[in-house]
Structure 1
Amino acid sequence: MLKPLTSAVQLNLAAAIKHRRLGYRGWCGAVNTAYDPLDPTTAAQPFAAYDALHRGGRVHYNPRRQTWILHRLDDVRAALRDTDQVTSSQGVTRIRMAADLVVVTDGEQHSRLRKQVQPAFTRKALDSWRAIIDDLAVELVDTMITQPGGDAVQNLAIPMPLRVIAAILGIPDTDIADFRRWSEDSVRLIDFTPTAKGVVNTTRALRAAVSLRRYFLRHLAAGDLKGSNTVLGRLLEHSTDGSLTDDQLFYIAILLLIAGNETTTNLLGGMVDTLARNPEQYDKIRADPDLIPMAVEEQLRYTSPIQNLHRYTRAPYQVGDVTIPSGSRLLLSFGAANRDPQAFDEPNSYRADRNPRMHVAFGYGAHMCLGAPLARMEAHAVLRELVSRVTRISVDGSTTWSTNSSLRGPTHLPVTLHTH
């Protein structure tokens, strides 16, 4: 399914040797930094590190990780747009890899794969899932209201997107527990760390990915998951040339998991935490529910469910006075870019009536997240349900945040929803 790029690894090794030979001149012009998103403490609470990056130059370099870092909003948006020089086709993690997935392709291949998936995210398709999403929002907020002090992550943030995706894929309720476990484990591929624990976690993630593949291919071969009311069935109906194989349908299903599962969990969990800790902003939304779309965009900027992704340069890449060599690993820090003081006033404050149109929480350019409309729809539904029924959200204890370097959100969030 995912295959390491032997030639790319050799290229990376050659670049590393070249940097070592050049010594300081290998990254002259960039600011050397010890900032390390793989550090668990930094990953859980990265914002002081982002402030430090913003006080420095436009380009930073971590010699230990041999990683170049872009953190300013304009520079991150420019790199996302320039897919000729800054490519996703060698992977978006620390491990170079290739797959027939829209997120790790560029150019014509990317356009072809995106066109295959696009019918799943049309306004008509989204409207057909609206009732599922609204009903789930009512059910899950009900659960939270009746369980004071309950964990918002387990009771809302995880089940909402997972059950939405399971429903639109046509996965039966009896399989959701397995589906959830495999989904949560497999996305850990995005967070490889070069440690013994990291290797163990990556092995576990690969095993989960294999289990998901086996599950989908077995059910697709049997004709399951291809009904007219499922997303894969609808894609088959739009594929008039019959080019969509079961293998390709599996990759699309995996894309849905990547685009709409854990990222939406992080968005929803972060939103509950933010509104609980900013009651005046919550009251502002309650007083004017028309702010809901803007408040969700501000939440995306403020907590950035995907903090960063990697790219690889396939040509010398110029940023200001710094030339990043060809074959370099480049970290695009969405979380830092979304708190760029040159782009946003008081970037470390949540303001429900801010209009942060330029944020990169869902990427930008050719790789703008396909699942963004679905994630927004779920967040809008949950926030509508909260402001219509809940007068105040209180946190009953401390929030625990994930230590995943890329996918950041609460992992434990005990709250009480007050209805009067």
Structure 2
Amino acid sequence: MTYPDQKLAEQIGARVEAFVRDVVAPYERDPRLGEHGPSEELVVEMRAKAREAGVMTPHILKDGSHLSQRGTASVLQKTGLSPLGPVACNTGAPDEGNMFLLGKVATPEQHERFLKPLVSGEARSAFFMTEPAEDGGAGSDPSMMKTTAKQDGNHWVINGRKTFITGAEGAKVGIVMAKSDEGACMFLVDLPNDAIRIERVLDTIDSSMPGGHSEVIIDNLRVPATDMLGNPGEGFRYAQIRLAPARLSHCMRWHGVATRAQEIATEYACKRQAFGKLLVDHEGVGFMLAENQIDLQQSSLMIDWCADALDRGENGNVESSMAKVAVSEALFRVADRCVQVMGGMGVSRDTIVEQLFREVRAFRIYDGPTEVHKWSLAKKIKKAELARTGAK
């Protein structure tokens, strides 16, 4: 099947792949990589090279238009061939999803002030939604939100706590979700801001995203009414605009990560000898690599299927939930088998497979754990069956 911008997307994807393999991958052993992601110096350096190569924010074209979701998949899968690829090419979370949301909802003035520096890669952003479990705040269920927004003249005053806020440290643009009397709202904020304090950066299993994942306190944050994103009470609807494409973008990027792990494990199995023959010739090893190829292909088809739904103008909530579950679970199996194929080398940091495994493991949690998506899908199955039978 072809899609309208297929040729263009494939051309961009080819340039991105060459850049990620030749320029970005060598940075994977750079000492400026820490437990909480690459340093700001390293981000700036890689992005300068991406601009020079013409692959900065490659899924958004020079005229401001966005590749189709199918076209985006062709590009983002290539950026994922290194955990640093989305950082260098400006296709990573949360920036990619935030740019998509601002492109759909923000005013022209907000475009100029907040979206433009994100698209250029000169600024990073953070999306402040998740809240600490110990406070009974919003996690996978955003309706539990505790952060409040109270109108005070021509400003809003926001108070609350947030956690797992990716990229908060070093971000210049913030999107803050809070609950007002009208319902959930979103606010655009210049960062850093004295009223948004980072308590700590969490130590997490993954380590590729700049700034890591932070716990923050929002203490009497004053936001001009003109910096509200959209209308009061529409925050959950805007979150849905962002949600399905962002889930799918995760699938795209991590597909590239798992593909890279498979490449490394395959090369190892085709060189390493044990018990008189190459590892790949042992059925137990060869079958694992074959199963990986099957999982990667099935994941790619799921991504394309969901992308087609979004490109038809559908909200894609069901499709993105299904894709997120299927792809995250399949790619975890791929990464796990790669570690197993490589044995001791797979658990050491002599290759990047160990990190790729950690990054993919986090994917089963981020943007909704597998179990939450299954629960949501089960509710829809029940609703459809009750509607079909007329039961209550």
Pick the structure with more strand per residue: 2
TM-score, normalization: structure 1? 0.26
TM-score, normalised to structure 2's length?
0.27
